[in-house]
Amino acid sequence: MKDQKDRLEALRADIERRNPAQPEFHQAVREVLETLAPVFAARPEYADPAVALVERLTEPERQILFRVPWQDDRGRVHVNRGYRVEFNSALGPYKGGLRFHPSVDIGVVKFLGFEQIFKNALTGLGIGGGKGGSDFDPHGKSDAEVMRFCQSFMTELHRHIGEHTDVPAGDIGVGGREIGYLFGQYRRITNRWEAGVLTGKGQGWGGSAIRPQATGYGSVLFAAEMLAVRGEALDGLSAVVSGSGNVALYTIEKLQRLGANPLTCSDSEGYVVDDKGIDLALLKQIKEVERGRVSEYAARRGSSARFVSGGRVWDVPADVAFPSATQNELEARDARALVAGGVKAVSEGANMPTTPEAVRILQEAGVAFGPGKAANAGGVAVSALEMAQNAGRVAWSEQRVEDELAGIMRSIHTVAHETAERYGAPGDYVVGANIAGFERVADAMLAQGVI
């Protein structure tokens, strides 16, 4: 085991040297490598330096960078950068979302693509890992500007994607509106009705029921599974949720349906705490219809709600917590605040929202911790179901997709839980999810030769 730890440490140092100035990618790789020593000890074929499996797994199969020029409503030309990292296709076509946010750079896209490989493997469905996006900021842009940007982005991206090659979807800053513009341009350029090239489409034109809800619903179902192992249920529990985008809204919806009381939501300007519980209809009106800010919620809701400028939801005591905004949004001091408030479970709706030190604090305090790779896999799982429906030119009922999603989340929980036990780390879902995802991808890579 000591030898394996030394080899993994040397590998990590080499990866950081070869990929400078990519802190998020380093963090994601480190977090996975730290948990792999026991599987390398048990299965030496994975660790054989002559096979260089981990070296291949941490090097994307293909990285695409391109210029995205577009004109604003006044006719001024802007230039953004577009990215698509096609990380690993051992299990199926590259699959993963597009993120439009000013913080996007190659390191962020690689961290997300790397995580996606293991997440997609955990779903048990035939999808590889990829991710993309742009440093374009959709906030404050008109619909016409967003459309022109999406059309320019797809004018380059279309030559790299396809239903059997690479299938993007949404992420931060990319929702139904953006997927619509991207799909329209793809269809126009290629002259193909290739529904399976993008997921997250509108339900009237190839989209799946429950896709917008899937990530948030799945994260809540994962929390329910973790609690059930401890003989508890969500009914009657208070919850804190960060973010107010796609994942956060449907986390709140599912929590309310299961009898829990979500008290908060947030955006990059601050958070709202509502003592009566979030009024989801009002929040959806502000976020989905008016594209407004959470501060407006507090202003319109009345005396039960207040807006805390610049604060973080983790200061609000609650039984369960759902980080659902962005990476590294829950730090050590936030974890301590959650523990002091009596939190029982944390389920990551966002990707890598909890810093490594915060994860350690939560786990040492006995909090059930569901890592994003497992807890937020419901979104990509329903995306894969959307691809299946597109391939068969059929549309499944809401009930069928919801049942499938529940079954997939249960099975991800079971596999992460059992794998953690098998490798001597009972209750550690980080270890379980990393190893279970890794084994599936590694076996496929070994079987497919030196690729």
Is residue 58 within 8 Å of 51, Cβ to Cβ?
Answer: no
Closest residue by Cα to residue 214 from 170, 263, 268, 152: 170
Asked if 155 contacts 181 with a C-beta cutoff of 8 angstroms, the reply is no
215 binds ligand NDP (CB under 6 A): yes
Measured from the CB atom, the residue of 40 and 322 that comes closer to ligand NDP is 322
**Residue range at the interface with ligand NDP (CB under 6 A); choices 13-21, 39-47, 245-253, 419-427:** 245-253
**Separation between Cα atoms, residue 58 and residue 423, nearest integer Å:** 23
Alpha carbons 379 and 169: distance in angstroms, whole number: 10
Rounded Cα distance, 253 and 388, in Å = 26
DSSP annotation of 285 reads I
Q: Which stretch in 24-32, 159-167, 305-313, 346-354 sits in contact with ligand NDP by CB under 6 A?
A: 346-354
Helices and strands (H, E) in the chain, number of each type: 18, 13
What x/- string results for residues 81 through 120 when contact with ligand NDP is judged by CB under 6 A? ----------------------------------------
Out of 95, 110, 131, 254, the active site residue is: 131
Least distance (Å) from ligand NDP to the CB of residue 441?
A: 18
Q: Using the rule CB under 6 A, which residue among 244, 261, 355, 363 binds ligand NDP?
A: 244
Rounded CA separation 324/245 (Å): 8
Question: Has 201 been annotated as catalytic?
Answer: no
Q: Is 173 in the site for ligand NDP (CB under 6 A)?
A: yes
C-alpha distances (whole Å) from 259 to each of 195, 199, 281, 303 are 37, 30, 17, 23
Q: Is 168 in the site for ligand NDP (CB under 6 A)?
A: no
Q: Cα separation of 63 and 295, whole Å?
A: 39
How many residues at the interface with ligand NDP, by CB under 6 A? 22
Given the complex with ligand NDP, which of 186 and 217 has the nearer CB atom? Answer: 217
Q: From the CB of 318, what's the least distance to ligand NDP, in Å?
A: 18
Residue 196 binds ligand NDP, judged by CB under 6 A: no
Residue 376 interacting with ligand NDP (CB under 6 A): yes
Minimum CB distance to ligand NDP smaller for 244 or for 355: 244
Q: How far apart are CA 136 and CA 115, in angstroms?
A: 22
From CA 218, how far away is CA 418, in angstroms rounded?
19
- Residues with a catalytic annotation lie at 131
* Residue numbers at the binding site for ligand NDP (CB under 6 A): 170-173, 175, 215, 243-248, 267-268, 324-326, 349-351, 376, 379
